Amino acid sequence: MTTPSKIEKVGFIGLGKMGAPIAHNILKAGFDLTVYDRVSEKINLLVAQGARGAVSSEEAAMGADVVISCLMDDQSVLEVVTGENGLLAGLKPGGIHIGTTTISPGCAVKLAELHQAHGSLYVAGPVFGRPSSAETGTLLTYVAGDAEAIAACEKLFAAYTCSCTYVGADHKLVNSIKLSYGFMLVGLLELFSEAYTLAEKSGIDLEMMGELILTILAHPMMKEYNTRIRTRDFEPAAFELRAGFKDVELMQQASSEVRAPLPIAGIVREKFLTALACGMTDKDWSAIHEITRQNADLQ
């Protein structure tokens, strides 16, 4: 299988809030761009900027060195790739498909298999960032797949991201990274929500609470806890687990008094209890990570 030595012609499928600005930046970088979306008005906006329009995913892929898809989910990606007039019907042997969509790791494996059978190459490359980052070309991406194909796309990645990290040949790995990233964000959203709710029902000024949250996030201890958990280094304790358990019980007591449920605190309390039962009393309170690992059958 021979990959293109120079990427010149690019097809782009999916011109939504993320896709349209990504495609615009690719066009601005000087690539020969053909675009497709189910909504013709979105195609017309890119055509007005200098792109060519296509009437199907197949046509967007025809003659392209690389086709980029920026869609919604597993189903939409698989339909675009394998459906009637789909991407595979138009992509030439040795052509490259870069998937920027947040999809399941299993779907990434399936896409790689479909492309291998077709004689083309799949590069898993989900993007990290918001539409505003897409507009300024400052998205992040982690990519996996054939190293030669990824190297050939270096200038293309540079057109719409500010950082591209290669993690190896295993396609599903980058999708797991993206989901881990998303989990951290959604976890913080719930944490913020519970903290603000407890503060509001307790009569705390929310602007003051907001300043406290920003102070905590910027505090050096956050880097320390990140390192402790990553390296599983819980001794000596900066804050002993038994003291942490006492604080969590006080949190729950306070939340009960003002009728502000804290589901996360309940989950954490059970892990503290298990850690104490396992003899971790004097370890740092971040050692509850060991209970999370045990629950996942990690040794």
pLDDT of residue 172: 97
Reference 290, options 233, 249, 246; nearest CA is: 233
Furthest CA-CA distance within the chain? 68
Q: Where are the domains of the chain?
A: 9-175, 219-295
pLDDT of residue 110: 97
Rounded CA separation 81/11 (Å)? 13
- Classify 9-175 by CATH class: alpha beta
Local confidence pLDDT in tens for the 299 residues of the chain? 666 668 999 999 999 999 999 999 999 999 999 999 999 999 999 999 999 999 999 999 999 999 999 999 999 999 999 999 999 999 999 999 999 999 999 999 999 999 999 999 999 999 999 999 999 999 999 999 999 999 999 999 999 999 999 999 999 999 999 999 999 999 999 999 999 999 999 999 999 999 999 999 999 999 999 999 999 999 999 999 999 999 999 999 999 999 999 999 999 999 999 999 999 999 999 999 999 999 999 98
Enumerate the active-site residues: 178
DSSP 1-43: ----SS--EEEEE--STTHHHHHHHHHHTT-EEEEE-SSHHHH
- Residues paired with 32 in a beta bridge: 9
Rounded CA separation 58/91 (Å)? 7
Considering the segment(s) 219-295 as one domain, its CATH architecture is Orthogonal Bundle (1.10)
